[in-house]
Amino acid sequence: MTTKPESPPRPGIDWRGLATSLLVSLLAIFSALVIGAGVILVTSGSASPNRSPGVCDAVGEIQSVYVLCKAYGGLFVGALGNPRAIANTLVEATPYILAGLAVALGFKCGLFNIGAEGQIIMGSMAAAVAGAMFVGLPMIIHLPLALLAGVLSGALWGAVPGFLRARTGAHEVITTIMLNYIAIRLIDYLIKGPFRDTSSSAPRTAFVAEEARLPFLFGPDYRLHAGFLIALIMAFVIWWLLNKTTIGFEIRTVGANPDAAQYAGMSITRNFVLAMAISGGLAGLAGASTVLGLEHNYKAAFTGGYGFDSIAIALLASSNPIGIIPAAMFWGALRNGAGLMQLESGISINLINIIQALVIIFVAADQIVRWIYRLPARRGTQTTLTRGWGG
Amino acid sequence: MSEGFRLDRRRIVALAGIVVALALFGIVSSQVPGDQISTLRITYANARPVDPPLADIPLPTVATVGVVALLLIAGALYIMRGTGRDLTSIYAGVLIFATIFVILIWAISGSRTDIVDMLARMVRLATPIALGALAGILCERSGIINIAIEGLMLTGACVGFIAALLSGNSWIGMLIAILGGGTIVMVHAILSIRFKIDQIISGTVINILAVGVTGYLRANVILPLTSAGATGSTLAAIPIPLLSSIPVLGPIFFNHRPVTYLMLILIPLMHLLLFRTAWGLRTRAIGEHPRAADTMGINVIGLRYLNVFFAGMMAGLAGAWFSLEASFNFDDVMTNGRGFIALAAMIFGKWTPFGALGGALIFSSADALQIKIQGFDFALPPQFLQMLPYVITIIVLAGIIGRPRPPAAIGKPYEK
Amino acid sequence: MTPVLEVRSITKRFPGVLANDKVSFTLEAGEIHAFLGENGAGKSTLMNILYGLYAPDEGEILVRGERVAIHGPTDAIRLGLGMVHQHFMLVPTLTVAENVMLGTEITSGLLLDEKQANRRVRELSEQYGLTVPPDALVQNLPVGVQQRAEIIKALYRGAEILILDEPTAVLTPQEADDLFEVIKVLRAQGKSIIFISHKLKEVLAIADRISVLRRGRMVGSALPQESTEESLAAMMVGRDVTLTVDRGAASPGAAVLAIDELVVLDDRRQRAVDGLSLEVRSGEVLGIAGVQGNGQTELVEAITGLRPTEAGHVILAGTDLTGASPRRVLDGGVAHVPEDRHRHGLVLSYPIADNMVLSTYLRPPYAHGVVIDDAAIAANAERLVEMFDVRTASAHAPASTLSGGNQQKVVVAREFTRPIKLLIASQPTRGLDVGSIEFIHKNIIQKRDEGVGVLLVSAELDEILALSDRIAVMFKGKILAVIPAEQATRHGLGLLMAGVVEEPADVIPA
């Protein structure tokens, strides 16, 4: 009776599933770029100022194609054309990795944090203030302190919607957006008021102390700073937290089936608050790393559209913390190359926003991509993030 | 402790009322000298600045605030008793209005302001919020969550503005804004109805797409057009003959621009359609229990598409308010969260048109106050007043003002 | 005479299931034709095909001798078919009259004519003896009245053929009697009725003709006067199944669970549990009988910490756990087999192994500090899969890949292998196959014999009778009586379930 049945090997990673979701992501990007090209072809004709409207001849067609080549060519060269471009792509990718992780962690808990923007703003501000407030602290204290200030204020800004969602049912999609607007007004007040650098004519905070700055990795010629390493490490930390700890088990369970989680003794409130706090903290770190590594002070709330970008990144990576890294790098490349694209072709940087929205559509609605490219339908159930407005 | 004093919603609101009342009185009485007067001016309709006012109402600042505070405390004690009808929601609404009134009185102490002008401005500023809320009601009553209203407004504002620039006619612009909203919303409709995508995600997609598309259009179409000399003008005010010259009421209700009138017409019209017609009955049915409606031969999917389309057009109209009525201009993200505030107004109004208008007026009063106060030397930094609508939105969503039940089927795709 | 309805060789396949397999039958005018079958026998599928909600893969339908295609409810209504669904198709926030006219509205001009709609409902009420208040909101009406509104809805549309899908499932025995009277009035007025049920007694009482479905196939038909419960049961189940469980006498000890004057509100803030007191002793099974919706769900949720309590006390083995968190209740030694295993019992997207530690993941051996021990979790899963005979390819397959019975075994395995004092089993065998039912019943009795106190809540009177040592009847949030199992009869329990108490001294608040 002791013949123990052959225990089946525990599947470490579902390679097949991973491969198809990677394929879907790539096809989503491809489709979005194709439609983006269509937008360029349609609008570049009418928008070019030296052509009279209404003339649609062969020259116009050719000119449109020319603009398209210039645009996407510029995009590519700008992103990856030389070592400095690559370094800049990685610089751009740094906050994206962290903010993408923030959104992905929210998804894992069944929460849709679309307010990473506000959390980044709060984190940036706090890091800038903490970095400038002290003089003469050793780096080993001052830098972590400034980073921590960013993390904590981002975490606070995230925890509030988490608490409201758990306790009152107020949907985080709206409360986080509202907190974005509140953060912008608050920062506007702080930058013009209490924390204004009086030595400057423009409203901004004072420069952070040398000891609070993230060092450049390859010298000041390349803007790549140590924040990039922090972001990489955080991706692995979050992966470990989610998959190898009881904290992550609870967060994932609450996200997958809140009723079952409650039944099993987990606290929805605690996990919502915790997940949103970690999420906000990651976004705050994204802001802090940009301020401490790159800007070295904080100017009137920069709204780089990080909040929406990070949603696209999290969806592209299927909320897999490790997958966030390449997705964020791709995004960094797009953003970094956009400048040269505009310079070369006159196509607005906003094209990237359109591509971004299309990528989100195609990844979120992966049935569409599977349907267009005749891929097999996904098994299992669609993740549901919404349970109405009520609790 | 389970039998003891419990902090339920009623008591939280009542306590908040008392705290706010005391705080307002305390702050105002410490900041404003006791003999200061705040004067509310009531002007004639269509008055020029040089005309004498209809009336000036001098209010001793501190005493007035004291009276308001006392009334608020009395009201709080009344609802705390908890007998009779639950007036908590109404009290909470009154509390917000009272707070705004007190801040106004405080800000103008020693000076005066035209109150009719402020009330008329409230109605104007309520327009996009109320229209957005109507769009939300249409969708959610049919069982579709629509958080895309912000994006629809933005799209409407942008394409309407382009059409107005190209045609030189802002009415055509308004029409295109309506159609633009109706077109873009179909992306949300198809994603959530046909592909059964999470409705929050597909709504967010619209919002993101709208930022991208309108930003692109602004840079690549609007700016080239305006630099080539294309111009236009805002939709002009149309004073209603006779009615507009009624004192007080005339300027508040009968001297507006087209989109505001349309809002004032659509609110009662939607109420009638929703609660008194076959279409309304069916709409309410598919939002509560789509399968029941299906078994009675109602085309759930078709009606959802139709209603979402109408909602999109209404949000597009709200967009026209921004770019063609409030100003002749299009700015990136000019809607500034009004689409989300509209949803809060919808929830505040318990998914009814008149309730939504009430909610919209709360938000617009905060806006109007903020604009009004800009002209006065006031202790509170303007940024904090600007935050007010967003803070109120969060408070509304948190259910402090009311915990109404949304339509039962929202957010759930209908499976045959 | 041509039958009003004839179904020929209907086949319907769902992924992995043959729901209807060449089903044929006829329905004569003015006849009550009962369809008998277990849960999942294919009765509801068949009726949904008739009503146009599903399209059949094969077969044909004839109405009054003519071949028809029913593509949707509109077609069905046009052909004179009306359906009273098991889960009422009523919009709770609308009035009865609004529900009745929905889709075929009475209007004057563009506006709805509520007055005339109310009048029409009243007319139908009087004609068929179906009392309903036309202008009341459906959500405020008792279940029996809602059902009458459903029937009026069909009659309003001129239904000649009425399909009643499990109409008595949510009714008390007395409400069911009222329904039978209504059905007889309908028959007397020439309507033809299809009556679906899995309850033998009522089928024998009401039907003119009985057809039996098993696993999607029509296995026979019978006339009630020539049938007995036993003969029908044999046809329905296919083999003789006795729901008696092999068990010895209980040896109850001290109280493990004492509930005192408990008050719990439901989602609509009404008192679902209304001053209820109850005691479960160690080593006994206390069964709670009652029609669904009398507060059983809320009671269990309150005990397990999933729902707040308004007043009263829940005491577990001497410790007051009133209003305690689910975690404290679990740690206090309570196992809970929840009513809805998909909602509460399992995370379907998780592997079986993770589901088996859903409530124990945070302590050794499964976790050290906050770090999870995957190997320990896997070892536990493999042990339990074998012990509880969970049929699966791997302990790491997602729970969603299991059959209902095996999913329930995962829940049972997890809950029964913890050190527990009290076991709460809510509808533990709902929707399961016979083999799984027997397995789970055996395990419940085994826990009892180990000295665990068992609180069993079930809508199936047979299950209550088979397992319980004492039976408590719950009605409108209160326990009406607690009866030793050996003294309980179906009839007596049925009366109590309807709120009828024999001693007139006990006044039951309406």
Residue pLDDT, tens place only, C5-62: 999 999 998 776 788 899 999 999 999 999 988 766 788 889 889 998 889 999 999 9
Instruction: For residue range B364-390, list pLDDT tens digits in order.
Output: 998 899 888 887 877 788 888 889 888
Q: For chain B, positions 227-246, list CB contacts with chain A under 8 A.
A: 227-228
* Beta-strand pair C58-63/C66-68: antiparallel
- The nearest CA of chain C is from the CA of B81 a distance in Å of 19
d(CA B223, CA B220): 7
- The nearest CA of chain A is from the CA of C178 a distance in Å of 38
Q: Across the interface, do C343 and A260 touch by the CB < 8 Å criterion?
A: yes
Q: Across the interface, do B408 and C92 touch by the CB < 8 Å criterion?
A: yes
Say whether pLDDT at C146 is over 70: yes
Instruction: For residue range B292-344, list pLDDT tens digits in order.
Output: 999 888 999 999 999 999 999 999 999 999 999 999 999 988 998 899 899 98
d(CA C92, CA B292): 10
Question: Is C362 near chain A, with CB under 8 Å?
Answer: yes
CA distances from A379 to A331, A366, B74, B131 (A): 28, 12, 60, 40
CA B71 to chain centre: 27
d(CA C321, CA C331): 11
Question: Is B23 near chain A, with CB under 8 Å?
Answer: no
Place of tokens 């997602």: C398
Q: ∠ CA B385-B391-B396 to the nearest 5 degrees?
A: 135
- The nearest CA of chain B is from the CA of A361 a distance in Å of 6
- The share of chain C scoring above pLDDT 70, in percent, equals 95
Instruction: For residue range B97-107, list pLDDT tens digits in order.
Output: 899 999 998 88
Closest of C225, C100, C84 to residue C143, by C-alpha: C84
- The share of chain B scoring above pLDDT 70, in percent, equals 95
Say whether pLDDT at C435 is over 80: no
Pick from C326, C372, C386: CB nearest A265: C326
Instruction: For residue range B183-210, list pLDDT tens digits in order.
Output: 999 999 998 898 888 888 888 888 888 9
- The nearest CA of chain A is from the CA of C382 a distance in Å of 7
- The nearest CA of chain A is from the CA of B240 a distance in Å of 37
pLDDT on residue B2: 37
pLDDT on residue A346: 78
pLDDT on residue A19: 79
Closest of C393, C364, C394, C367 to residue C381, by C-alpha: C394
Calculate Rg over the CA atoms of chain A: 23
Pick from A351, A360, A388: CB nearest B410: A388
Closest of B146, B96, C89, B411 to residue A390, by C-alpha: B411
Instruction: For residue range C169-223, list pLDDT tens digits in order.
Output: 777 777 888 899 999 999 999 999 999 987 777 888 899 999 988 888 888 888 9
pLDDT on residue A303: 59
pLDDT on residue A377: 61
Residue C58 identity: E
Q: How would you write the pLDDT of chain A (391 residues) with one tens digit per residue? A: 333 334 344 445 567 767 777 888 888 888 888 888 888 887 765 444 444 444 444 555 667 778 888 888 888 888 888 888 899 999 999 999 999 999 999 999 989 898 899 999 999 999 999 998 888 888 888 999 999 999 999 999 999 999 998 888 788 888 998 899 999 999 999 988 888 888 888 888 888 888 888 888 888 788 889 999 999 999 999 999 999 999 999 999 999 999 999 999 999 999 999 999 999 999 999 999 999 998 888 887 555 678 888 888 998 888 899 999 999 999 899 888 888 888 888 777 888 888 878 887 888 777 677 777 777 665 444 444 544 544 3
Residue pair A187/A180 in contact (Cβ under 8 Å)? The answer is no
Residue pair B178/B317 in contact (Cβ under 8 Å)? The answer is yes
Name residues whose C-beta falls within 8 Å of residue B21's C-beta, 6 or more positions apart in sequence.
Answer: B68, B69, B70, B72, B73, B76
Q: Across the interface, do B398 and A360 touch by the CB < 8 Å criterion?
A: no
d(CA C25, CA C222): 12
CA distances from C353 to A141, A217, C350, C405, C432 (A): 44, 44, 8, 17, 22
**3-state SS string for B134-172:** HHHHHHHHCCCCCCCHHHHHHHHHHHHHHHHHHHCCHHH
Optimal mutation site among B150, B205, B388, interface A, most CBs of chain A within 10 A: B205
Instruction: For residue range B35-56, list pLDDT tens digits in order.
Output: 888 888 888 777 777 777 888 8
Question: Is C376 near chain A, with CB under 8 Å?
Answer: no
- The nearest CA of chain B is from the CA of A37 a distance in Å of 13
Report ipTM for this prediction: 0.86
Nearest CA in chain C to B294: C73
Say whether pLDDT at B173 is over 90: yes
User: Chain-wide mean pLDDT for chain C?
Assistant: 87
User: Chain-wide mean pLDDT for chain B?
Assistant: 88
CA B172 to chain centre: 25
d(CA B242, CA A176): 47
Those chains having 3 or more beta-carbon pairs within 8 angstroms of chain C are A, B
Q: Across the interface, do C374 and A10 touch by the CB < 8 Å criterion?
A: yes
Cβ of C446: how many Cβ atoms within 10 Å?
12
Ramachandran sector of residue C369 (left: φ over 0; alpha: ψ -120 to 50; beta: rest): left
Cβ of B380: how many Cβ atoms within 10 Å?
12
Tokens of B285: 């049915």
Q: For residue C371, what pLDDT band results from cuts at 50, 70 and 90?
A: very high
Q: Across the interface, do B411 and A388 touch by the CB < 8 Å criterion?
A: yes
CA A241 to chain centre: 19
For residue C210, give the H/E element and its range.
Answer: strand C209-214
DSSP character at residue B277? B
Residue pair C285/C278 in contact (Cβ under 8 Å)? The answer is no
Instruction: For residue range C74-109, list pLDDT tens digits in order.
Output: 899 999 999 998 888 999 999 999 999 998 898 888
d(CA C168, CA C203): 11
pLDDT on residue A371: 72
Average pLDDT over residues C476-488: 90
Tokens of C344: 């509460």
End-to-end, the C-alpha distance of chain B in Å comes to 49
Q: For residue C506, what pLDDT band results from cuts at 50, 70 and 90?
A: very low
d(CA B268, CA C281): 63
Which residues on B lie below 8 Å from C73 (Cβ)? Answer: 294-297
Residue pair C99/C145 in contact (Cβ under 8 Å)? The answer is no
Residue C62 identity: L
State phi, psi for B158 to the nearest 5 degrees.
Answer: -70, -55
Strands annotated E in C15-124: 17-27, 32-36, 58-63, 66-68, 81-84, 107-108, 111-112
Q: Sheet containing B37-42: which strands, arranged edge to edge? A: B55-60, B37-42, B112-114
**Highest mean pLDDT: which range of A50-64, B90-104, B268-282, C349-363:** B268-282
pLDDT on residue A304: 64
Question: Is C55 near chain A, with CB under 8 Å?
Answer: no
**3-state SS string for B337-394:** CHHHHHHHHHHHCCCCHHHHHHHHHHHHHHHHHHHHHCCCCCCCCHHHHHHHHHHHHH
